[in-house]
């Protein structure tokens, strides 16, 4: 039990210095916010380049037309400018002011037309007259503008000049990975979509928390290897899975991170398996966090867990969110902006992730070396010396660990069964191990799978950076 992430990674959080961390997370989100991202193109590349300034990143380019399972990598989309000008030549809708003004993946257009012909290409939200909707048309070649309803209502009849200076042509789909090798070749997959333009919660919150999590994990000794992927939603996850199908066997735990910056309570959506270790760990951490939280069963709609949990893969991948997609009015509108995400909530989301991986890193099964009746704790200084009326949680934790350490129960399962926090159970286990009462179970549950077989840790593909394994 030497690789205690918590002693390093969690200390900062537990010391309560979330304010500064939150500020840094929000600052990074604001740097990425103006970039016009899409499922392909230079916006994605610029975003990955920004992430790469913080963590080691390998970028992959997959050509247009590449077959990925039932899908095909689309043409690459890039945009430079777009506007609608009125008869006086004034830009009444201007891409330079907000990149949501152009329907993502709009084909180029340059034309003059009366308002009645333009209107079928205009998208608004009558119920939220000041917000701009976010619209895409990835798989149907068309063009459109998105604007506030108020803006549209203020447009008089007459001729308008429309221009979308975009290109839709053979190119590439771009994604990136940050790989942090650990002691085991078994991997943790953390996936964030990075294809939404100026939207803060749905997209940027996941990207910034994942980036900071990678930064933190790079500084501690790791049992697992970690693979962070920054990909376009749906087609990116499908592309990544198609190119890494064999490697998915190494994935031991996985998490999709998105929508974790708003002020709503946490929602953890379980993997399709429903009882994966990460499902138990996340539920446990949330329950003991004091944060408002709800655990949701798996459903085949949502973010990229849909692909990771498709029946052919059925990976142990869950999804951590705050407010659930589609349930808040700001979702997929210009109101999902930098004010909609809160620095402190971003930091708290990062803390939940760090605590969960701390549990997974330290979860193991042990064996009680003195299983015939209770060992005498008093003579080992492990029991209260003056018999009080109540025994403390500390003693409870020791008794639970001793009783259930039969090689069949992991520390997380013991924590769950005892109702005590993982941290207390782990501390008890550490103390009992030091006293010679516990030993690692020979083929402990969970551990057996983690390091089984003759697979060697695949570290050669990534140069080891100096200083990434400090304790």
Give residues in contact with Zn ion (CB under 5 A): 202
Minimum gap (Å) between residue 96 Cβ and Zn ion? 23
User: CA separation (Å) from 247 to 9, 240, 357?
Assistant: 28, 11, 21
Nearer Cβ to Zn ion (182/232): 232
Q: Is 356:431 a contact under the CB 8 Å cutoff?
A: no
Minimum gap (Å) between residue 235 Cβ and Zn ion? 13
Nearer Cβ to Zn ion (216/335): 335
Nearer Cβ to Zn ion (42/202): 202
Residue nearest to Zn ion (CB): 202
Nearer Cβ to Zn ion (202/305): 202
Minimum gap (Å) between residue 20 Cβ and Zn ion? 29
Minimum gap (Å) between residue 333 Cβ and Zn ion? 11
- Report the candidate in 239, 291, 199, 256 with the shortest Cα–Cα distance to residue 67: 239
Nearer Cβ to Zn ion (206/407): 206
- Report the candidate in 251, 342, 352, 378 with the shortest Cα–Cα distance to residue 305: 251
What are φ and ψ of residue 40, in 5° steps?
A: -140, 170
Nearer Cβ to Zn ion (299/370): 299
Nearer Cβ to Zn ion (187/202): 202
Minimum gap (Å) between residue 286 Cβ and Zn ion? 23
Nearer Cβ to Zn ion (321/382): 321
Minimum gap (Å) between residue 306 Cβ and Zn ion? 13
Nearer Cβ to Zn ion (104/405): 104
Minimum gap (Å) between residue 202 Cβ and Zn ion? 4
Minimum gap (Å) between residue 332 Cβ and Zn ion? 6
Minimum gap (Å) between residue 346 Cβ and Zn ion? 18
Nearer Cβ to Zn ion (202/423): 202
Cβ neighbours of residue 27 closer than 8 Å, sequence gap 6 or more: none
Nearer Cβ to Zn ion (40/362): 40
Beta bridge partner(s), residue 319: 256, 269
Q: Is 393 exposed, middle or buried (0-12, 13-18, 19+ CB in 10 A)?
A: middle
Minimum gap (Å) between residue 269 Cβ and Zn ion? 15
Compute the distance between CA of residue 127 and CA of residue 214 in angstroms, rounded to an integer. Answer: 40
Q: Is 235:39 a contact under the CB 8 Å cutoff?
A: yes
- Report the candidate in 64, 70, 96, 89 with the shortest Cα–Cα distance to residue 167: 64
Minimum gap (Å) between residue 363 Cβ and Zn ion? 32
- Report the candidate in 291, 314, 302 with the shortest Cα–Cα distance to residue 193: 302
């Amino acid at each position: 039990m030497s690789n205690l992430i918590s002693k390093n990674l969690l200390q900062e959080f537990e010391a309560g210095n979330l304010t500064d961390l939150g500020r840094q997370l929000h600052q990074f989100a604001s740097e990425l916010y103006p970039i016009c991202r899409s499922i392909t193109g230079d916006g994605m590349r610029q975003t990955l380049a920004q992430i790469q300034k913080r963590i080691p990143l390998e970028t992959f380019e997959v050509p247009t037309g590449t077959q990925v399972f039932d899908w095909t990598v689309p043409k690459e989309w890039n945009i430079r400018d777009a506007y609608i000008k009125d008869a006086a030549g004034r830009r009444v809708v201007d891409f330079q002011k907000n990149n949501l003004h152009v329907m993502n993946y709009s084909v180029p257009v340059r034309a003059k037309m009366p308002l009645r012909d333009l209107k079928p290409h205009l998208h608004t939200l009558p119920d939220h007259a000041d917000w701009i909707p976010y619209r895409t048309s990835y798989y149907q070649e068309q063009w459109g503008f998105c604007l506030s309803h108020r803006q549209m209502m203020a447009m008089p009849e007459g001729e308008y000049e429309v221009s979308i200076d975009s290109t839709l042509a053979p190119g590439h789909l771009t994604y990136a990975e940050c790989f942090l090798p650990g002691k085991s070749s078994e991997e943790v997959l953390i996936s964030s979509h990075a294809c939404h333009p100026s939207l803060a919660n749905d997209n940027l919150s996941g990207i910034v928390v994942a980036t900071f999590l990678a930064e933190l994990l790079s500084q501690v000794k790791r049992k697992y290897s970690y693979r962070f992927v920054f990909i376009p939603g749906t087609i990116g996850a499908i592309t990544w899975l198609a190119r890494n199908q064999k490697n998915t066997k190494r994935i031991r735990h996985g998490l999709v991170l998105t929508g974790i910056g708003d002020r709503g309570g946490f929602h953890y959506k379980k993997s399709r398996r429903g009882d994966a270790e990460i499902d138990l760990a996340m539920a446990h951490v949330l329950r003991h966090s004091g944060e408002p939280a709800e655990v949701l069963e798996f459903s085949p709609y949502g973010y990229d867990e849909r692909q990771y949990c498709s029946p052919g893969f059925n990976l142990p991948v869950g999804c951590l969110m705050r407010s659930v997609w589609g349930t808040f009015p700001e979702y997929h509108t210009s109101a999902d902006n930098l004010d909609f995400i809160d620095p402190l909530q971003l930091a708290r989301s990062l803390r939940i992730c760090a605590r969960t991986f701390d549990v997974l890193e330290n979860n193991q099964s042990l064996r009680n070396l003195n299983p015939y009746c209770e060992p005498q704790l008093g003579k080992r200084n492990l029991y209260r010396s003056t018999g009080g009326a109540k025994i403390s949680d500390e003693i409870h934790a020791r008794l639970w660990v001793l009783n259930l350490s039969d090689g069949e129960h992991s520390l997380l399962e013991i924590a769950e069964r005892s109702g005590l926090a993982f941290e207390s159970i782990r501390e008890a286990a550490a103390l009992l191990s030091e006293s010679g009462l516990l030993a690692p179970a020979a083929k402990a549950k969970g551990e057996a799978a983690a390091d089984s077989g003759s697979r060697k840790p695949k570290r050669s593909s990534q140069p080891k950076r100096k200083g990434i394994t400090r304790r």
